[in-house]
Amino acid sequence: MNKNEARVETSAKMRCFQKVKIVIHTILGLAACASMTPITVTAQNYPSRPIRFIVPFPPGGGTDVLTRTLATALGETLQWKIVVDNRPGAAGSVGMDVAAKATPDGYTLVTGEASDLAIFPTLFAKLPYDPVKDFQPITLIGSTELVLVVAADKPYKSLGDLIAAAKTKSLTMASAGSGGISHLVGEMLKQRAGIELLHVPYKGAAPAMADVLAGHVDLYFAVVPAVLGLLKNGRLRALAVTTAQRASALPDVPTIAESGYSNFDASAWYGVLVPAGTPAAIVSRLNADITRVLQMPQTRARFEANGVAVQGGSPERFKTFIVSEIAKWGQAVKISGAKID
């Protein structure tokens, strides 16, 4: 082959190579567009079918009340079709695990709270989900106090009465499940007051409350939304709230700190999450719509009537809050000595 023929062959090969590059770039470009299109379309059309909203507790408890309040507001305002799915068990960890393993397409939401997101990582030796890695936070719904309640026919008129009785006889303490916030707050009081309380765990707030009302269990630390109606109709008596300040919904009930145990401060909180891997466009849409509905006067009024202070905020803010609460409650768990294998 002479030099001219070699140059012609080389030139032909170069033209062929350039054509191949163009084809490859075209294919890659089309693939990128194809991968982006479903997310864009999904975000624009979202939601196009009913949304499942998981509650990791039985009906009637504080988490259930708040979730249904939010679901109703979203349905009324945005015409979303939402199906509340109660998945109780293991103090909330069963429902959280179901949510963590759901398809990350924006059609499964879950209400997480202080127990299953912040307390369990330290309290349980093994947890079927990771509160940080397995979920994408959407927004913080709100926070509320816990209140120490007894049946109205019990002789205890104050926290002092109850602690004095606990030092002379065995009293029983209900909880919404081993390791839940109602359990841990009781453990904190036991340590601070130097008393013994026999822990009786239930599968949720509603069955726990049923046995308190029936007189089978002496006391219970309940979130305010779950018992406000029972306090107002006189079936329960409130002895103290767990936060540093008195509850706006129960202004006449003293705090545990006021009752002689300084720096006692614990509150419950709730937030919306989706499985990790949910498209960013859907996360942004959910955050914007839920936050907007939470800030509406009629929605805020509904939550405040249940003793809940509305929060809202960005996914990033909620994630930072969860991480800080894990550290905070981790210390409380270690101090209390509670541990579940």
Residue 124 predicted with pLDDT over 60 = yes
Which of the four pLDDT bands, split at 50, 70 and 90, describes residue 333?
A: confident
Under 8 Å between Cβ of 207 and 216? no
d(C-alpha 141, C-alpha 54), whole Å? 15
Query: Model confidence over 276-309: pLDDT tens digits?
Result: 999 999 999 999 999 999 999 999 999 998 889 9
Region 107-123 average pLDDT: 94
CATH number of 145-241: 3.40.190.10
Region 70-97 average pLDDT: 95
- For residue 261, the tally of other CB atoms under 10 A from its CB is 16
Which of the four pLDDT bands, split at 50, 70 and 90, describes residue 25?
A: very low
Instruction: For tokens 């990033």, name the residue.
Output: 316
pLDDT given at position 59: 92
d(C-alpha 128, C-alpha 226), whole Å? 27
pLDDT given at position 316: 98
Which residues lie closer than 8 Å to 185 by C-beta, 6 or more apart?
Answer: 146, 221, 242, 266
Indicate the range of 38-42, 80-84, 158-162, 222-226 predicted with least confidence: 38-42
Triad 157, 61, 98: Cα angle to 5°: 145
Domain boundaries of the chain, sorted by first residue: 51-143+267-336, 145-241
Residue 118 predicted with pLDDT over 90 = yes
Region 118-129 average pLDDT: 91
Read off the tokens for 52.
């499942």
Whether 145-241 and 51-143+267-336 are alike in CATH topology: the answer is yes
Q: 51-143+267-336 domain in CATH 1.20.120.430?
A: no
pLDDT given at position 336: 67
Residue 20 predicted with pLDDT over 70 = no
Which of the four pLDDT bands, split at 50, 70 and 90, describes residue 18?
A: low
d(C-alpha 22, C-alpha 30), whole Å? 12
Chain-centroid distance of CA 65 in Å reads 13
Under 8 Å between Cβ of 166 and 193? yes
To the nearest whole percent, how much of the chain has pLDDT over 90?
A: 72
Q: Are strands 135-151 and 267-275 parallel, antiparallel or unpaired?
A: antiparallel
30 versus 230: which is more confidently predicted? 230
Q: Are strands 171-175 and 135-151 parallel, antiparallel or unpaired?
A: unpaired
- For residue 45, the tally of other CB atoms under 10 A from its CB is 9
Under 8 Å between Cβ of 267 and 178? no
252 three-state secondary structure: coil
Q: Are strands 51-55 and 267-275 parallel, antiparallel or unpaired?
A: unpaired
Under 8 Å between Cβ of 114 and 57? no
